[in-house]
Structure 1
Amino acid sequence: MRAGRSSGSAVVLVGALALGAFAVPSAAAADTGITVTKMVVNNGKPVVVGTSATVKPGFTFRMTWPSGVKLADAQVLPFLYHDTTAAKGAAHGGIYFDSVSCGDNGSQPADCGGQLSIEPRSTLDSDNDATTWKIAAGAKIWSGSGLKSQEILTGLGTVQVQRAAKVTANATPEPVAKGGTLTVKGAITRADWVKHKYVGFGGKAAKLQFRKKGSGTYTTLKTVRADSAGALRATVKASADGYYRWTFGATSTTGGATSAGDYVDVT
């Protein structure tokens, strides 16, 4: 594989440049004879991205290449795109590979893998990017004289990209008398890829759960919907020492989250 082995801060740029040639007319644009099957990104799970940390989901695939061509001269560079064509996604607006490698034992097909690189401040510029992305790959065949043929392989599958979410929990008063009223508050926030910070996730339903001291299991007490600012509030009767937490599942655009348990001593 001639590209995709780079590492460090320049990797996304390297990926974009390596794929960019597919977006312009080329005398080498032709069927490469490369096939890609069994493409899986992030083990088939959604990719959840926050506001600053680079996320590098892994991918695996199986490839075949023309007889008489060495694997070292057959290149597959996966990328993700949405709301555009694969060719334009290869040139800009896509999520590019960070690394690609294949096991070469001299036989076909070869099992390959690597990782993509998602840097939210440069790769995601709209909350509309929390959607279903299509998986494609640039394919190239090289020869001793240079690039022999290239094409874009599409229809390799899809992957959901989601905004990361957080939730907090705070139970008061602490300690509390047995049978007394506890107020458990919380706040749901999720990544805003335009403002590059977490903002309130209004209207999201969350479960208030309790785990008795010494137990390993949480039990749901109530389900509460957050207000327009993402704030949660519920009251319960204190019965025993234990932990209170808020939790909620993922939506199509946003990952789920569970708070740390807030311990309350019942006197």
Structure 2
Amino acid sequence: MRKRALFAVLAAAGVLGGLTGPAAYADDGVGDIQITDVSVNGDKDIVVGVTDKTVTVSVTATDPSGIWDADFYLWRGPDGADPYFDATDYVTPNEDTTPADCVASSPTTSTCSKTFTFEPDWWVTNADAGTWKVGVHVSANDGSWTNRWAHTTTRLQRLSQLTADAGPEPVAKGKPLTVTGKLSRANWDTLDYRGYAGQPAKLQFRKAGATTYTTVKTVNTSSTGTLTTTVTASEDGYWRWYFTGTSTTPAVKAAGDFVDVR
């Protein structure tokens, strides 16, 4: 994927839609095209680690003459902004110079898709994590078109990792048990994982033979992302940490660590 000057893409959209001038840069359209669905990454957040990740963006649209082509734009900027003047960042599909892959479900309705590849330390940096607007341009066989610069949104997130370790093992009933761990997330600037500081993580316990975890307490991560707390050992079971996530980092659960209480 390449970052590209916004004005160049907008100009292309204007040509495709048969327009010139500022009107091409706002939500607009000619004809009867109806967009019924836009999906990014299967309607899931885009979570990227330290290697490239490719996702599909698709639109389902209807027109009496049938759908000819579609294109997509991911951009960042203030709500209600004009993307021509106010976009702070902008990306285009991998195959931005070729037609979309359109599959017709009827003579009037098609689903068209393209792929985006997110490349850490190439164009994706830590500052890019967060909410992105999704623009869609759809063209019909009769020359009609519709352009929606912020039809929906998607979230680009830094992959998170979480560990848990409880000890001593085994432990005598009624004695202190220390549970440690570390919350880290992908650093797209350095292509590794760094501790996520100052984040609340839930310490959870599942007794042997049970199927669900119960939250015991909440502990904040240190400046290096580490977690540590002490509880009283009472029965055999599994201990884990659970991080509920933020807008830039997905939720994650550590694998449960079994402790034998004697």
Matched, 1:132 2:131: yes
CA contact (8 A) 2:133 2:154 kept: yes
The whole-number CA distance in structure 1 between the counterparts of 2:14 and 2:113 is 27
Matched, 1:77 2:98: no
Q: Where does residue 45 of structure 2 map in the other structure?
A: 46
Q: Where does residue 189 of structure 2 map in the other structure?
A: 194
- The counterpart of 2:91, out of the listed 78, 89, 94, is 94
Matches within 5 A, 1:18-57: 22-24=10-12, 28=16, 29-30=18-19, 33=31, 34-56=33-55
- The counterpart of 1:183, out of the listed 175, 178, 182, is 178
Shift of 1:93: 3.5
The whole-number CA distance in structure 1 between the counterparts of 2:91 and 2:249 is 20
- Cα distance change on mapping 1:121 and 1:222 into 2, 3 Å: same
Q: Deviations over 1:34-65 (max 9, x none)?
A: 44233233454432222214142x55533133
Unaligned 5+ residue runs, structure 2?
20-28
Q: Where does residue 63 of structure 2 map in the other structure?
A: 65
45-54 or 206-215, which moves further after superposition? 45-54
Letter in 1 for 2:218: T
CA contact (8 A) 1:79 1:97 kept: no
Shift of 1:197: 1.4
The whole-number CA distance in structure 1 between the counterparts of 2:15 and 2:175 is 78
Shift of 1:213: 0.9
- The counterpart of 1:262, out of the listed 254, 257, 260, is 257
Q: Where does residue 165 of structure 1 map in the other structure?
A: 160
CA contact (8 A) 1:23 1:87 kept: no
Q: Where does residue 8 of structure 1 map in the other structure?
A: none
CA contact (8 A) 2:94 2:117 kept: no
Letter in 1 for 2:128: D
Q: Deviations over 1:54-97 (max 9, x none)?
A: 142x5553313363xx53xx10122322139656999x841526
Shift of 1:136: 0.9
Q: Where does residue 207 of structure 1 map in the other structure?
A: 202
SS in 2 for 1:96: coil
SS in 2 for 1:158: strand
Shift of 1:103: 2.5
Q: Percent identity?
A: 34
Unaligned 5+ residue runs, structure 1?
1-11
Letter in 1 for 2:256: G
Count of residue correspondences: 241
Q: Where does residue 211 of structure 2 map in the other structure?
A: 216
TM-score normalized with structure 2 length: 0.77
The whole-number CA distance in structure 1 between the counterparts of 2:122 and 2:111 is 24
Q: Where does residue 3 of structure 1 map in the other structure?
A: none
- Cα distance change on mapping 1:77 and 1:194 into 2, 3 Å: same
